[in-house]
Amino acid sequence: DAGVIQSPRHEVTEMGQEVTLRCKPISGHDYLFWYRQTMMRGLELLIYFNNNVPIDDSGMPEDRFSAKMPNASFSTLKIQPSEPRDSAVYFCASSTGKGSGRNSPLHFGNGTRLTVT
Amino acid sequence: KNEVEQSPQNLTAQEGEFITINCSYSVGISALHWLQQHPGGGIVSLFMLSSGKKKHGRLIATINIQEKHSSLHITASHPRDSAVYICAASEYGNKLVFGAGTILRVKS
């Protein structure tokens, strides 16, 4: 089991550029979550998917942020245009709810550290 | 007021000491998660519980639903336990509300 795989590990970009973060969840997991971690606000849920369908995107800060999950093994989080205040560590996590939304342990990726200059 | 509050914010202990980290929440929950984040940044799920007590090695997690309170205990602490410990409440399904974290440093 390779775990949740995120790429890239680090991303440095200039303000105004488009940034795409990628995530491969654990095979068989039907929930996928995108979180953002900053010193000021800690961990925050941005959006989560169940069976590739976005369920709750109320944490997405602005229209500049978008997330997709075209299939069960891949998701992207895109920021366009990026701003310095988007600098943070972005985590992807997956879990299995067996289709019922029941609680189950989360498995986190190693995160992508984004710096926008 | 945050929906999930942890205490203490920082904790320094000597190797071998018994450690307790507390978590109080104000939301109705279906489960309470304890996470560990090491200096390298990776996050690991330690426990998920909705009642009673769970134990894994030297780690013990308890929850009191009526008092809306959970504790994480570490017995015989070791420097490798140094990390940030995060409590998170699941209001429904796996939508988590996170505490600010407790920074633990265990000195040898």
Cβ-based neighbour number of residue A15 at 10 Å: 12
Assign residue B73 a region: left if phi > 0, alpha if psi is -120 to 50, beta otherwise?
beta
**Over residues A44-65, mean pLDDT:** 92
For A33, the closest of B86, B94, B101 (CB atoms) is B94
Size of interface A-B (CB pairs under 8 A): 57
The whole-angstrom separation of Cα B39 and Cα A25 is 23
Mutate to test the interface with A, among B43, B54, B59, B97 (most CBs of A within 10 A): B43
At which residue do the structure tokens 């984004």 appear? A114
Provide the shortest C-alpha distance from residue A109 to chain B (in Å): 7
At which residue do the structure tokens 């550029």 appear? A17
Residue A11 near residue A117 (C-beta atoms within 8 A): no
Residue B77 near residue B15 (C-beta atoms within 8 A): yes
A97 to chain B: closest CA residue: B93
Using alpha carbons only, how large is chain A's radius of gyration in Å? Answer: 14
For A103, the closest of B44, B93, B98 (CB atoms) is B93
Residues A82-95 have pLDDT tens digits of 999 999 999 999 99
Residue B22 near residue B71 (C-beta atoms within 8 A): yes
User: Is the pLDDT confidence value at B68 over 70?
Assistant: yes
User: What pLDDT shows up at residue A1?
Assistant: 65
Q: Hey, what are B86's tokens?
A: 């995060």
At which residue do the structure tokens 């970009």 appear? A13
Mean residue pLDDT of chain A comes to: 92
Of the given ranges (A98-102, B42-46, B78-82), which has the lowest mean pLDDT?
A: A98-102
Residue A77 bridge partners (DSSP): A21, A67
The reply to whether residue A110 touches residue B41, judged by beta carbons under 8 angstroms, is yes
pLDDT range class, residue A100, cuts 50, 70, 90:
very low
User: What pLDDT shows up at residue B95?
Assistant: 75
Percentage of the residues of chain B whose pLDDT score is greater than 70:
96
User: Is the pLDDT confidence value at A45 over 80?
Assistant: yes
**Over residues B54-60, mean pLDDT:** 96
Provide the shortest C-alpha distance from residue B99 to chain A (in Å): 8
